[in-house]
Every structure is written in structure tokens, then in C-alpha cells.
Amino acid sequence: MEDSFPYQALADTILVIHTGFVLFVILALPFIYIGAIKNWHWIRNFWFRLAHLIAIGVVVAQAWIGLMCPLTSIESQLRLRSGQEAYNGSFIQYWLHKLIYYDAPLWVFSTIYTLFGLAVLLSWLLVPPEPGNRKQ
């Protein structure tokens, strides 16, 4: 299908962005703690830490409200328009199922997201960010 190419390319682009977002949310936390031990200054950057906190906050809020991630929805619609299959569940559920054949109720993912969000919040207390550079 010639008309399907732009939709497939856009869907793949959304998938790459979504994967980057997920990796940022997951990997930033261990880097914060490792960086505290190794005295990496960048892990205390206020804007980096705020972006990380907001990112996991959005994930937790969506899970508690019961909303599907907008990136998942957009990618699914683009895949349907290109003639491909769309996801049946959330992005994380889909890939966890694909990668490790694990299926769980939505409350399990909500609980995991919430606990991870609390761990990120705790990192603000244990490894506090430095105030942002503000002109005075």
C-alpha cells in the first residue's frame, strides 16, 4: 500500500519517542543514585530532576485516572491508518507481553507506576537537586 508509508513512518517515529520517554523515566532514577555516590554534578540539575518528576507524575496520574497514554493512542491510530495492527492495551503492557510473555491486570501496572513515582519523589529528599541558575 503506497499511501500507508507516511502513517507507518509517523507511527515508528512515535514509537521511538515513546521508547525514549520510557527509558528516560526508568533510567534517570538509578543514574541519580549512582551519580550521588560518584559525585556527578549533572544529576542534581534542577531542570533535569523536575522533568523527571513531571514525567513519572504524568504516568502515575494517567494510570490512576485510567487514561491510555496519548503516545500509545496516536501510534495505534497511525498504525491502523497504515494497515497495521494496533495495540490492544497500553504501550508498557504490549511490550512486556511481547518481550517476556507477562500479562497482568491494570491495577498491577498502576501499583508499579505509583511505587516508582514514590521512589522518584524520595530521590528529591535523599539526593536533592541544586537550585536552578536564576539571574538575580
Q: Is residue 24 one of the residues assigned to a domain? A: yes
Q: What is the pLDDT of residue 136?
A: 40
The answer as to whether 105 is a domain residue is: yes
| Most distant CA atoms of the chain, gap in Å | 59
Highest average pLDDT, of 27-41, 84-98, 121-135, comes from: 27-41
* Contact by Cβ (8 Å): 18, 87: no
Give the residue-averaged pLDDT of 95-109. Answer: 67
pTM equals 0.80
**How many other C-beta atoms lie within 10 A of the C-beta of residue 11?**
22
Q: What is the Cα–Cα distance from 17 to 77, expressed in whole angstroms?
A: 16
Across residues 96-123, what is the average pLDDT? 81
Domains in the chain, number: 1
- Tell me how far apart the alpha carbons of residues 54 and 57 are, in angstroms, rounded to a whole number: 5
Residue 100 pLDDT exceeds 50: no
What range defines the domain where residue 86 resides? 4-126
> Is there a contact between 14 and 75 (Cβ–Cβ < 8 Å)?
yes
